[in-house]
Structure 1
Amino acid sequence: MNHGVRGGTIGAVTSGVTQRSLRPWPTGAATGVGSMPGTDSGEAAAVVFGELPEFPHLPELPARGVGADLLGRTAAVLVDLAVDVVPSGYRVAARPGRDQRRAVDLLRWDIDAVTEAAGRGAPEVVKTQLAGPWTLAAGVELARGHRVLTDRGAVRDFTDSLVEGLAAHVAQLAERTGARVVVQFDEPSLPDVLAGALSTPSGYGTVPAVPEPEARDLLGTVIEAARERTGAAVAVHCCARRPPVGLLRAAGADAVSLDATLLTGAGGALLDEIGEAYDAGTTLLLGLVPSTAPATPPELKTLARPAFDLVDRLGFARATLAEQAVPTPTCGLAGATADWVRRALSLTRDLGKAFVEPVEGW
């Protein structure tokens, strides 16, 4: 494995000093992926800021329905573009309607809740999550029912709108919380975009695959824009079994968020991509804690094992996890019980501490 590959990034910063300065969270911090259960934004914010005080995030509450899911949340920040909801999902509209106004209201209430929670703890950093440009283009339809993804001009329009709206969103969140803002772009649909696996409206065909260079360049545009506006690391989350880590790194992602429990048995190509990213200074947000309660209460040592096994296989010292890895749940917690949410976030925080001071015998 060649851990020394460092070229080909767009806007990426790879020197150790600069990479560290982009990480506003302290060593040993832990964070969440994004979604939480329930419909009470105040309660969700209180739990997140209470359990993850060093690296909290803006909670998403998809159980509230239209406008509260990933696409709806992202639609709420778009500028000069409107979407509405039809039976098949989100669709471009001529002007903002009830559904988009609801999404804007939900986001405003969430920021109010986070502002109140932040006032009690004064966090130095807070993370916000939005759909990345390819997941947004794959999940929103044009007026005739085809995905935005099928129209390159429309993809660019949505990306430009996302970048502009992101700037205002980040500025508001920073002003309200007094914290530095880390942006996480969620790209669950990116592997299907690259593979040409997304269906057409008829269901009998698939949308042609997007070439990797095109996917990389567009994603790089929003990553660079987010970094310029925050002065902080930008993360990209992809919970697929085989996330395109090499592409994410080449696009300039400072941090890659993935489900580490799915890496057991991963092939050499994926491990090479992860190893090269890690060696270049990319932070790994490692999903380690189950997103729903397991049948048997997990031990911390068992939860930490995929992280230790990963760096062992890559040939890095386990001590590097303290500086370059951030534990998270394996995915969003929208399907968890209230009891498990608190326990899961508490375990995630304990993992961060264990990266700094590993327990003897692990």
Structure 2
Amino acid sequence: MTLATGVGSHPGDDQRAYDEAVRLVLGELPELAYLPEVPGRGATASMTGRAMAVVAALGADLQPAGWRLTDGPGVDQRRARSLLAQDLDGLEEQAQGYAGVFKVQVAGPWTLAATVERPRGDKVLADHGARRDLAQALAEGLGDHVADVRRRLPGVERLVVQVDEPALAAVLAGRVPTASGFSRHRTVHAPEASQALEWVLRAVAEAGAEPWVHSCAGETPLDLLRGAGARGLSVDHAHLSARDHDEVATALEAGETVALGVVPSTDPADVPTDAQVTEALLRWLEMVGLDPEEVGERLVLTPSCGLAGASPAWAQRSLALLHEAATHLSG
């Protein structure tokens, strides 16, 4: 059975929007729901803020330029942790009895290294030791996070942790700007990039969850992600190169999961029908030489990226559309 899910983020700017997102996800995606993110609530609810709430043994606080590492947890990091706990409380209340697959999301080590600053300024990416420490702190914190989610959702047998790495391609290509904006950080070579991801993905697996990696950015090296331990790839179909198509087909044939972004993440001028989405997927499966029945639930349908920039109406319609297309493929 083909499944449908979302990438993570939803529109809105207050707690009511988060509560509504939880209701929407649980209602529209009964087989593979997820913990929504509503970054419009502020920096503590952003992708980086969420991750800084999860990391262990590293302090952080907000500065005018964004999140910065500190000697101990700052007030903003404590607020981020409090907000995450509050959101999990709300999820636990609404998801009583839920027994499908469940997914949580967290920013990956290289996206954090490209967005979080060192205590002395500039990005963590500029310091080999700092980026190693940040990756290891994230790995350590994820073990506790997975255990907390499992405690709150005891009926879930299969828990997925989606590691978001939208900045990975830029890190590998040396395209991340320095604080001055006049230069670029040095390229991180593939072996080091793979090692940091491996620490994080191994921690997820050792905690009893299934590690996926998501990026809707083009030029993300999917073979590197799989080599580092990703057992699921979450990608935007529109950004796949010919080599990427081969890699995702190989992943599916190997029994791994591919979450394929197939509907727009923002309100489209022309809304596709469930039949059009299904037909496009069948053409793609034929192109890569895969049978829908054989692929089964290893193929997951998603929006092309997060829904934070969508209207509430499109956020709801996109998830319903994905569920309808998944049902057609399963039939």
Residues 62-211 of structure 1: matches in 2 within 5 Å?
62-119=39-96, 121-178=97-154, 179-180=156-157, 181-211=159-189
Cα separation, 1, equivalents of 2:292 and 2:101: 25
Is the partner of 1:91 in helix, strand or coil? strand
Q: What CA RMSD, in Å, does the superposition of the two structures yield over aligned residues?
A: 1.6
Cα separation, 1, equivalents of 2:278 and 2:187: 36
* Number of residue pairs aligned between Structure 1 and Structure 2: 326
- Does the Cα contact within 8 Å between 1:128 and 1:183 map onto a contact in 2? yes
Cα distance, 1:145–1:308 mapped onto 2, change above 3 Å: farther
1:279 maps onto 2:253 in alignment: yes
1:328 maps onto 2:302 in alignment: yes
Superposed CA deviations along residues 241-280 of structure 1, whole A, max 9, x for unmatched, are: 23311111111111000011333xx33x333323332322
Is the partner of 1:295 in helix, strand or coil? coil
Amino acid at match of 2:56: V
1:346 to 278, 303, 320: 320
Is the partner of 1:326 in helix, strand or coil? strand
1:47 maps onto 2:24 in alignment: yes
Cα separation, 2, equivalents of 1:246 and 1:60: 28
Is the partner of 2:205 in helix, strand or coil? helix
Is the partner of 1:327 in helix, strand or coil? strand
Amino acid at match of 1:103: A
- Does the Cα contact within 8 Å between 1:220 and 1:252 map onto a contact in 2? yes
- Does the Cα contact within 8 Å between 2:2 and 2:298 map onto a contact in 1? no
Segment of structure 1 superposing worse, 99-108 or 313-322: 313-322
Amino acid at match of 2:328: A
TM-score, normalising length from structure 2?
Answer: 0.94
Cα distance, 1:145–1:259 mapped onto 2, change above 3 Å: same
1:227 to 205, 220, 226: 205
Amino acid at match of 2:227: A
Cα separation, 2, equivalents of 1:334 and 1:305: 27
- Does the Cα contact within 8 Å between 1:258 and 1:285 map onto a contact in 2? yes
What is the CA distance between 1:306 and its match in structure 2? Answer: 4.3
Cα separation, 1, equivalents of 2:145 and 2:277: 34
Cα separation, 2, equivalents of 1:171 and 1:233: 13
Superposed CA deviations along residues 15-60 of structure 1, whole A, max 9, x for unmatched, are: xxxxxxxxxxxx3321110011112222221111111111110111
Amino acid at match of 1:124: G
- Does the Cα contact within 8 Å between 1:286 and 1:307 map onto a contact in 2? no
Superposed CA deviations along residues 126-152 of structure 1, whole A, max 9, x for unmatched, are: 211001111111110102222111212
Alignment match, 2:195: 217
Superposed CA deviations along residues 170-220 of structure 1, whole A, max 9, x for unmatched, are: 111111111242100000000001101101112111111111122112211
Alignment match, 2:8: 34
Superposed CA deviations along residues 293-322 of structure 1, whole A, max 9, x for unmatched, are: 212221112223443333222222233342
Task: Report % sequence identity.
Answer: 44
Cα distance, 1:199–1:167 mapped onto 2, change above 3 Å: same
1:298 maps onto 2:276 in alignment: no
What is the CA distance between 1:65 and its match in structure 2? Answer: 0.5
1:239 to 203, 216, 228: 216
Cα separation, 2, equivalents of 1:257 and 1:229: 21
- Does the Cα contact within 8 Å between 2:165 and 2:215 map onto a contact in 1? yes
Amino acid at match of 1:187: E
Superposed CA deviations along residues 88-122 of structure 1, whole A, max 9, x for unmatched, are: 21111222222112211210111011101111x42
Is the partner of 1:256 in helix, strand or coil? strand
What is the CA distance between 1:347 and its match in structure 2? Answer: 0.8
Cα separation, 2, equivalents of 1:304 and 1:200: 43
Cα separation, 1, equivalents of 2:95 and 2:320: 18
Cα separation, 2, equivalents of 1:50 and 1:316: 30
